[in-house]
Amino acid sequence: MTLEPLLAHIREAEGYSATPYRCPAGKLTIGYGTNIEWLDREEAEWLLRHRLEKAVAEVHRRWPWADRLTEARRSALYDMAYNMGVPGLSNFRKMLAALEVGDYQTAAAEAKDSRWYRQVGRRAVRLVSMIGEG
């Protein structure tokens, strides 16, 4: 059995929403009628992997020099891209410029001097350490 006709039907019936909304039953919903109140661990793991893979690919597309970073520094960049999205990461222009030329202390200082650092807490402390120390 092919699911394509059923998928097309559900897409049309549900419609698509990139932002969460309340369905008629009052459940928090996103995408094509996906009730996120029922999200199980397996689905959450799939989303984590899928979104991280997309973030990693986009980091390398935008900043090919990231290949030259140590694994720890690349991981910090990937984590930041996952956490705030690549568009959010791209706002860290001074940090990214310092990483590109290998000025890791400046890169760490730039990451630390941000609203993101103040909002994220221990995670940011760890990532800044990874950037600075490699």
Domain encompassing residue 21: 4-38
Whether residue 125 is found in the same domain as residue 60: yes
Whether residue 33 is found in the same domain as residue 89: no
Stated pTM of the model: 0.86
Q: What is the pLDDT along the chain (134 residues), one digit of tens a residue?
A: 789 999 999 999 999 999 999 999 999 999 999 999 989 999 999 999 999 999 999 999 999 999 999 999 999 999 999 999 999 999 999 999 999 999 999 999 999 999 999 999 999 999 999 999 99
**CATH number for the domain that contains residue 56:** 1.10.530.40
Read off φ and ψ for residue 28, nearest 5 degrees: -70, 125
Query: How is residue 133 written in tokens?
Result: 């120390």
The dihedral region occupied by 31, where left means phi > 0, alpha psi between -120 and 50, and beta the remainder, is: left
